[in-house]
Amino acid sequence: MATVLDRLERVLEREAPAWGIDPVPAEHRRLSGLDLAVLWGSLALGFLVLVTGTLLVPALGLRDALLAIVLGSAVGCAPLALVAVAGKREGVPGMVLFRPLLGLRGSYLPTALNVLQLVGWTAVEFWAMGQMANRMSIRLFGLDAYPLWLLLAAVVCTALALGGPVLVVRRWLERFGIYVVLAAGAWITAGALGRADLGALWSRQGEGGLPFWLAVDLVIAMPISWLPLVADYSRFARPDARAFAGTYWGYLLGNVWFYALGALLVLSAGAEPSVAGIAVAVAGLTAGPLVLVALLAVETDEAFADVYSAAVSLQNVAPAADQRRLILLVAAIGLGLAWFLTMEAYEVFLFLIGSVFVPLFGVFAAHYFVLQGGRYGPAGSSDDLPALRPLALLPWAVGFLLYHWSVPTGPAWWQAAVRTVFEGWLGLPFPLAGSALGASAPAFVASFALGLLVLAPATRRRSAGRAAAPPR
């Protein structure tokens, strides 16, 4: 007799067939540019984006905060959309895109780091949803049942991940999820504006302590954090889909809205810059608890993306592994971490891992869009690639070091080690420019420029070799 899992697998295979890391064939490419805009707009309209927006004020005034939000979103969404284009063209997930750049086994390094951070963010999302649901449960029903809400959040998000991107976009977001989050966001915005004296807030100066360009960098960080994942979804885009426009405008509009709304909640409602603080501020609005429940329901797409992409990334190392069993494994580990660990402390370590990908995508952009003319072709995902291309590691490492020289990010022990290297051993000013320039832009530009310089000769030699090879 077939097990329940076997039956579920057959249903999923019929309704939403899983696809491994090979290029997605045309018949499975079903997402339009509008579908991508809905997906990335929904991912930008997240509760944790609201929380991050609170970090800009009152250090900056409302006017400067809004300028930083618009500028940071415009800059940060550009590389996100470019990688979406690469994923659509090649039809492969994000970690497989690194094979031609780093080599087959060289791509295992970013894969390991990406899986580590995605499992961590899965736990953070489970934890945040469980905490938020439990606060509402206590407030509305007097029921303190965090383990129950944590388990329920994990089950729902895992079910979405098992369904895959096409099902989530077409069956969940476009039929229900996106409308719920838009309505909830509009309700919170109306409530915050109703309490605000916009004239006074607009003219009020910031209290200082956060340089403007560092604030821009804080906004850039949110779309940049999705760089390792974006191709996992754009590979399902139709050949005629406007992947750049859908990804760029979908995420930009959502990011600007919820960053600005987070800042406004601090200035108008006195919200604390934390998950609990924003939850309290929203709950204090008319019908606030209901709005929080709505936000909680659509927060599931964030964890879905973390779980699904972690499983797909693992397939870069183990292509024969069953994707859905990997999804169950990732979700189980994330649930265990959320149950036993303190997520506030773990988030700092996750930001350290995330800083690895800014310079890596600088090198990738130089290699793919400039040196390769924006196309790898079938050989890009081939198992015949060399095991390692060490030249690409140099600009990646330089960009990573520049990132942490500019803005040390991570646990206290890591920041102390970086200070010792730059200030103690090398005698250099630390941090660079007093952190006023941020870290993402300098690291990306440096790794991009050095990547062009280092990789161009080898790319020309390989191109010449292919041209001289006799036809088969």
Q: Which of 124, 131, 132 is nearest to 289 (CA)?
A: 132
Whether residue 58 is preceded by a cis peptide bond, meaning omega within 30 degrees of 0, is: yes
For residue 317, the tally of other CB atoms under 10 A from its CB is 15
Tell me the pLDDT tens digit for each residue of 161-195.
999 999 999 999 999 999 999 999 999 999 999 88
SS3 58: coil
The model carries a pTM of: 0.92
Q: What is the mean pLDDT of the chain?
A: 89
Sequence letter at residue 194: G
Q: What does each C-alpha distance from 162 to 58, 127, 330 come to in angstroms?
A: 42, 20, 11
In this structure, what token pair is assigned to residue 95? 């970690």
The whole-angstrom separation of Cα 405 and Cα 390 is 23
Dihedral sign computed on CA atoms, order 230, 213, 70, 269: positive
Tell me the pLDDT tens digit for each residue of 434-471.
667 788 989 999 999 999 999 998 777 766 655 555 55
In this structure, what token pair is assigned to residue 104? 């087959």
Which pLDDT score, from 0 to 100, does residue 179 have? Answer: 95
Per-residue pLDDT at 215 exceeds 80: yes
- Long-range contacts (CB closer than 8 Å, 24 or more residues apart) made by 454-461: 454/391, 454/392, 454/394, 454/395, 455/363, 455/366, 455/367, 455/371, 455/391, 455/392, 455/395, 456/371, 458/389, 458/391, 459/367, 459/371, 459/372
Sequence letter at residue 389: R
Q: Which of 5-9, 178-182, 247-251 has the lowest mean pLDDT?
A: 5-9
Please report where in the chains the tokens 């974006």 appear, as a residue: 230
More confident residue, 385 or 76: 76
More confident residue, 133 or 451: 451
CATH class belonging to 28-463: mainly alpha
Per-residue pLDDT at 217 exceeds 60: yes
Q: Which of 91-105, 369-383, 416-430 has the lowest mean pLDDT?
A: 369-383
The whole-angstrom separation of Cα 343 and Cα 435 is 26
Sequence letter at residue 472: R
Note whether 398 and 358 are within 8 A (CB): no
Percent of the chain whose predicted confidence (pLDDT) is above 70: 91
Which pLDDT score, from 0 to 100, does residue 275 have? Answer: 76
Which residues are bridge partners to 321 per DSSP? Answer: none
Per-residue pLDDT at 384 exceeds 90: no
Note whether 300 and 92 are within 8 A (CB): no
Which pLDDT score, from 0 to 100, does residue 467 have? Answer: 54
Which pLDDT score, from 0 to 100, does residue 278 have? Answer: 85
Tell me the pLDDT tens digit for each residue of 370-382.
999 999 977 666 6
Question: Where do the domains of the chain lie?
Answer: 28-463
DSSP per residue, 323-360: HHHHHHHHHHHHHHHHHHS-HHHHHHHHHHHHTTHHHH
Which pLDDT score, from 0 to 100, does residue 466 have? Answer: 58
The whole-angstrom separation of Cα 60 and Cα 20 is 46
Sequence letter at residue 233: Y
